[in-house]
């Protein structure tokens, strides 16, 4: 079946099943095209909670659908590809975190939303890449355990020098690969471009940035900044909306490595099948869900800078 036909069938079935199609900013273009909403993982989970629709088709990776299931337990949350995971989220387990907490009983655990529900349940507060610094500042404790991303952790630590920060040694295999030489070359070839970068990249890369931000921060920055050219330091799925919203501006990928294999697993065929069967369904055990929700709710109560 051709792409247009598949997209039409999906839209029709979604309407019949009263389903909301949501897609992360890193999904394939053809998936973002048919989504009712695109966004970052937290924004999408909040949409899932607030919608009247009963079925949420979450085109993204496992921890994102779990966050939707945590915030919207009364809805049916389905993830078109059960095997779409996040290697960074898998780098920490609830037991591993419990062990670290025992070594630092005076610390507050700040956990990036890119983590399993079980890890969130062991955390004091969550953060996203857009609010991480505000969340760290809002915490009273002097000592923070920053989990699981060491790059985001080191970035937070640089912004809150008054706190002692211990970073879990996890990383995103996609963002962590970006090389200083690649950025220098892109800058040399495009001296008029601004470099915007995700805090999951290594500290040496962040040092070269004009703007460090989440995916939603990139949409805002690209739209409001008069510059015409941007070097983009995040997963290449972001290009679809950047180009759509800024048709006269130019967006340059500095490296071939900025492709997340897990985010690219979901294809239109998977979305169609998932709508037909309402499987694979993502649920979170109630005891874990309640604790994980507390960490998410605490984050949501933090005022933005």
Q: Return residues touching ligand SF4 (CB under 6 A).
A: 26, 61, 86-88, 114, 172-175, 235, 260, 262-263
Q: Is 174 in the site for ligand CIZ (CB under 6 A)?
A: no
Between CA 224 and CA 124 the distance in angstroms is 35
Burial class (CB in 10 A: 0-12, 13-18, 19+), 49: middle
Strand order, beta sheet including 229-233:
211-212, 194-197, 229-233, 250-252
Collapsed DSSP state (helix, strand, coil) of residue 280 = coil
Binding residue for ligand CIZ (CB under 6 A) from 40, 122, 124, 182? 40
Minimum distance, C-beta of residue 114 to ligand CIZ, in the bound complex (Å):
6
CA quadruple 51, 296, 298, 135: dihedral positive or negative?
A: negative
129 binding partner (options ligand CIZ, ligand SF4, none; Cβ < 5 to 8 Å by kind): ligand CIZ
Instruction: Output the six-digit token pair for 69.
Output: 């299931």
User: Applying CB under 6 A, which of residues 7, 51, 114, 255 lies at the interface with ligand CIZ?
Assistant: 114
Using N-to-C axis directions, what is the helix angle for 268-277 and 3-16, rounded to 10°?
A: 20
Centroid of chain to Cα 54: 23
Q: Judged by CB, which is closer to ligand CIZ: 23, or 78?
A: 23
Q: Does 38 bind ligand CIZ (CB under 6 A)?
A: no
Q: State how far Cα 98 lies from the chain centre.
A: 24
Q: Using the rule CB under 6 A, is 113 a contact of ligand CIZ?
A: yes
Nearer Cβ to ligand CIZ (214/255): 214
For residue 268, which phi and psi values (nearest 5 degrees)?
-55, -40
Q: Are 271 and 21 in contact (CB under 8 A)?
A: yes
Region 183-222 residues binding ligand CIZ, contact defined as CB under 6 A: 198, 214-216
40 binds, among ligand SF4, ligand CIZ, none (CB under 5 to 8 A by kind): ligand CIZ
Q: Which of 53, 2, 4, 6 is nearest to 276 (CA)?
A: 6
CB of 114 to ligand SF4, least distance (A): 5
Q: Count residues contacting ligand CIZ (CB under 6 A)?
A: 12
**128 contacts ligand CIZ (rule: CB under 6 A):** yes
Q: Which is nearer to ligand CIZ, 263 or 288 (CB)?
A: 263
Is 236 a residue that touches ligand CIZ (CB under 6 A)? no
Q: Cα(293)–Cα(287) distance, rounded to whole angstroms? A: 10
Residue 123 interacts with ligand CIZ (CB under 6 A): yes or no: no
Residue nearer to ligand CIZ on the CB measure, 7 or 41: 41
Positions touching ligand CIZ (CB under 6 A) are 24, 40-42, 113-114, 128-129, 198, 214-216
């Amino acid at each position: 079946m051709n792409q247009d036909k598949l997209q039409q069938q999906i839209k029709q079935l979604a309407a019949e099943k009263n389903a909301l199609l949501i897609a992360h900013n890193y999904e394939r273009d053809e998936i973002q095209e048919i989504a009712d909403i695109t966004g970052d993982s937290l924004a999408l989970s909040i949409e899932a909670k607030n919608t009247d629709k009963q079925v949420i088709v979450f085109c993204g990776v496992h921890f994102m659908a779990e966050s939707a299931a945590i915030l919207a337990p009364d809805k049916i949350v389905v993830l078109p590809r059960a095997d779409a995971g996040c290697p960074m989220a898998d780098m920490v387990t609830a037991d591993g975190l419990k062990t670290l907490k025992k070594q630092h009983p005076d610390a507050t655990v700040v956990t990036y939303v890119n983590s399993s529900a079980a890890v969130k349940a062991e955390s004091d507060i969550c953060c996203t890449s857009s609010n991480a610094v505000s969340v760290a500042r809002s915490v009273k404790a002097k000592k923070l355990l920053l989990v699981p991303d060491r790059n985001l952790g080191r970035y937070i630590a640089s912004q809150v020098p008054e706190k002692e920060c211990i970073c879990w040694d996890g990383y995103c295999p996609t963002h962590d690969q970006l090389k200083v030489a690649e950025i220098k070359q892109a800058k040399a070839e495009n001296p008029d471009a601004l470099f915007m970068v995700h805090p999951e990249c290594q500290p040496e890369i962040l040092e070269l940035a004009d703007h460090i931000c989440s995916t939603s921060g990139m949409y805002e920055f690209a739209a409001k900044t008069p510059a015409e050219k941007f070097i983009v330091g995040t997963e290449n799925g972001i290009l679809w909306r950047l180009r759509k919203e800024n048709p006269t501006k130019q967006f340059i990928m500095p490296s071939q490595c900025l492709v997340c294999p897990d985010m690219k697993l979901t294809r239109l065929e998977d979305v169609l099948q998932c709508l037909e069967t309402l499987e694979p369904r993502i649920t979170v055990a109630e005891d874990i869900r309640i604790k994980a929700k507390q960490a998410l709710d605490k984050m949501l109560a933090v005022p933005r800078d």
